[in-house]
Structures are given as structure tokens and as C-alpha cells.
Structure 1
């Protein structure tokens, strides 16, 4: 009887451990086996030195057609082009990224992967007022990549955030009003540095932040992911923001954070 109870206890512990590991992976604490190359301090745009150059032209055309200059999305229009979106999603999922890919290709691939599958998630639950109304939006494994299935949280936290490139926070879009806007073009290795700069500059200088010389009321993104923006070069959030802000915030200014608007970013 004692041995039986001991075995049952071991099985319960094992089941809990496996369940916990699955939850951790889904929440993006692990990379799900995806490559996480470190971006250099000075990233350059390039299609060289990569075994793969992914064609994102289908996604680029869809974005130009269904996303306006303010990053607002025509989800009904995307639904009408569902077959084209599905073809692109299938194309992305057919790849098995590796460390033989350049860091530029990896960044463009995972940013587009996140954004395209976020649009897909909204369409699968449309009409919806907020992505937060969708159960497990960031934790469920819904993104097939090769023989793996990732969560949106896994792509963000387990892959992109581990690539030493904080500008990714302004490139991925969570389908919400307070999110950095969805860029109306696909990210590509050949333009990745300029695109990340554009996304970051536009976000920091938008109404998502309230900035003056002696006041800084910033997006909650800078609070949630604070450690991603802090480095030897930018020891404070103000230092990071001042790299891109047209209005420079005085050193030592008190920083507060704005409430996040999770309403759908629909045209």
C-alpha cells in the first residue's frame, strides 16, 4: 500500500511539473526551441549572410491595403482577403528558422509572424471589442512553426525579447488602441533597421506619450518592459526615450505611466 501511494504521489508531482513547464512555455518564458540570435549594438539592414531570405510580399500587400497611416486596421477587409492571409500564414509556418539565418532575417520573420497571427486571432474571434476578451490570447499555442507550435507570448517574450533589440516593442502590435501602430508594410531584412527606427520614433513622438522638458507621462510599455530599455548607454528610461523624442526630457524628471487602452484598433 505504501509503495502504491508513493508511486501515485510521484505521478502527481510529474504531472504537475509537466503542466507547469507547458504553462511556462506558453507564457513565453522559454523560446520553444526557436533561435534567439543577439542583435548587435548597431544593427544594419542586410539580406546577406543568411541561408534563408523570406518573401514577405503577400503580407506587405495586405498591410498596404488594410492598414491606414495611423495604424488602424480594416479587419472586415482582411476577412475578404482571408485566402491570401491564410496562404501567407501557411508560408511562414512552413519554415524552420535556425541560427544559420541572419539576425536581420530572424527579426523580420518573428515580427511579421507575431503581427500576422495577431490579425488572424482577431478574425477568428470577430467581432470582438478587445483582444483581452479572447481567452488565452497570448498563452495558447496557436502559431505553428515547422514542427513546433508557439504562443504569441512565446514569440514576444521567449524569442524577440531575447534578441537584444528593444525596438521590437514598437514593431509588434497587440491589436489595441494603446499599442504601437501596425506598420503599413512588412518588415524585411533589407530594411529592418530603418523600419525599427521609424516605428520607435513614431511611437515615442505620438499621443501614446505625453512629453515635455519637465514632464514625462509615458506608455505603460516603458513600465512593463523597463529592463529591456536600460543599458550602459541608456541607464534610465528618460535616456532611452530622449534618443528618439523630438522634445528632450530633462534629466531627473519624474516619470509616470499612462493607463493602457485595450479597445480594438479597428478603422
Structure 2
């Protein structure tokens, strides 16, 4: 990725993000928080109504009727494992909360940015690093939330579940993550991602396999922590394994917003 001066990025990104920051704070202040089980059910309704069979999001529909998603995000803002640990008694409860909270917050974030077609370099910095979101009573950013809260939980399969609403992301489930079935959901997401001909692209004539940049962005979460190599990790979740002497390359991430076409 192109490296730009940090001071310039922060100054430019903050200017671009300021309207979204203000809207986020206003929405959080105005929203009515629901207890976790209730907002999880509300989030299930949003996913069923606004995500189609091809896992594209009806952002225009959300923009026209933002109330249900805003209520979910307001509830995310108010309560979380950080400020109400008794409501999240197990590690599975904590991980499920964070996956749902991240995905709901990112979904509303795209709407608040005017539903762009594509997240270019500056837009990505603004969206991930310079727009304030509130999670469980704490102000943060999506980037800090992922790196400082979610990744330290030590569950690398979250990378197959976190969705920033662009085409390069893993498929967005049409159901929430729930603690009671989380292990099955995480494993299913890993199998789907590592078997996807889009996310993992064998090139037998070159003796290579090209994989999503998610494996490049977060290499240390996969190896050596979970497998001796990225190829070994991918093969762990595939029904048809790839030759272990193949080299691994990365293809460019698609930052096109995963929106449903206009009706």
C-alpha cells in the first residue's frame, strides 16, 4: 500500500471525517439502548431484511429507514463487555458481541458517509482510523477496535467474520453471531473463506496460490501462532488441499462498497 506522511493523512482524513463524527455522536446521544439479547434480535432483523442472498447490502433502504440499524448501534454504544462484563460471561459471548458490534457499526458507517461507491486511500483512512465510534461506552475507531480489542482475543477466525462492507471482505452472514453456536459459525466461516475461489485462487501452472490480502494484513495472527505457514493454515480449512510446496502470493483487495444495485 502507498505510504503517505502521517501528519498529512491525519489532517486530511480528520477534515473528511468530521461530519460523520458529529452525526455519529448525535445519533448515539439520541438513540435508545436495548439490552444485549434484544439488540441481537434487532440486528438479526436488519440482516434478514437488508442483506440479500448474494450478501450485498441494501444501503439505500437503510438510508431511507435508518431507525432499526441506528437502534442497534446505539445499543452497541451503551453496553459491552468492557462496561458490563456480567452480561457477557463467556469468551464466546465476548467474541460474538464484538463481531456483531463491528459489523453493525461498519454498516451504519457506510450509510453515514453517503454510501460511496468505493473506499479510496483517503476514504479508508477516514472511515477506519479517523471517525469516532462508540463501543460499550468507549470512544474508539474501527481500526483501534479491531487491533486493540478484537485481535488480542486470540481468535484468528474473526478475520473471516469481520465485515467492513466492501467486496474484498468475507461474506456477511444473514444471521448474527451467537455464543451458543459460535464455534460452529467460526469454523464454517473459515471453511467458506479458505475454499472460496475468490478469496483463494490456485494457479497450478505457476506453482502458486494467490490469497486475500487479509492474510497479508494480519499474517502474525495466522502464522506462526496457528500454523507453520499461511499455506498450511489455508489447507487446514480446505476439503481439497493445495500442494505444500506452492508459493503464496496476494491479490489486491477490492474496496468497492458491497451495495445492492439501484432498483
Equivalent residue number for residue 199 of structure 2:
208
Given that 1:212 and 1:248 are in contact with CA atoms closer than 8 Å, whether structure 2 keeps it comes out as no
Equivalent residue number for residue 7 of structure 2:
none
So what's the TM-score if we normalise by structure 1? 0.75
Q: For the residues of structure 2 that align with 1:199 and 1:110, how far apart are their CA atoms?
A: 16
Given that 1:141 and 1:149 are in contact with CA atoms closer than 8 Å, whether structure 2 keeps it comes out as no
Query: 1:64 deviation in Å?
Result: 1.1
Task: Establish whether residue 65 from structure 1 lines up as the match of residue 49 from structure 2.
Answer: yes
Equivalent residue number for residue 75 of structure 1:
59
Q: For the residues of structure 2 that align with 1:131 and 1:247, how far apart are their CA atoms?
A: 34
Bigger helix fraction: 2
Equivalent residue number for residue 32 of structure 2:
none
Q: 2:219 aligns with which of 201, 222, 226?
A: 226
Q: 2:115 aligns with which of 127, 133, 138?
A: 127
Q: 1:93 aligns with which of 74, 77, 92?
A: 77
Given that 1:205 and 1:246 are in contact with CA atoms closer than 8 Å, whether structure 2 keeps it comes out as yes
Query: 1:142 deviation in Å?
Result: 2.3
Equivalent residue number for residue 103 of structure 2:
115
Stretches of structure 1 that go unaligned for 5 or more consecutive residues are 1-18, 24-51
Q: 2:155 aligns with which of 150, 165, 168?
A: 165
Given that 1:177 and 1:263 are in contact with CA atoms closer than 8 Å, whether structure 2 keeps it comes out as yes
Q: 1:104 aligns with which of 92, 95, 101?
A: 92
Q: For the residues of structure 1 that align with 2:247 and 2:108, how far apart are their CA atoms?
A: 39
Q: For the residues of structure 2 that align with 1:252 and 1:134, how far apart are their CA atoms?
A: 35
Bigger radius of gyration: 1
Moved over 6 A (4+): none
Stretches of structure 2 that go unaligned for 5 or more consecutive residues are 1-9, 15-34
Query: 1:141 deviation in Å?
Result: 4.7
Task: Establish whether residue 262 from structure 1 lines up as the match of residue 246 from structure 2.
Answer: no
SS of aligned partner of 1:127:
coil
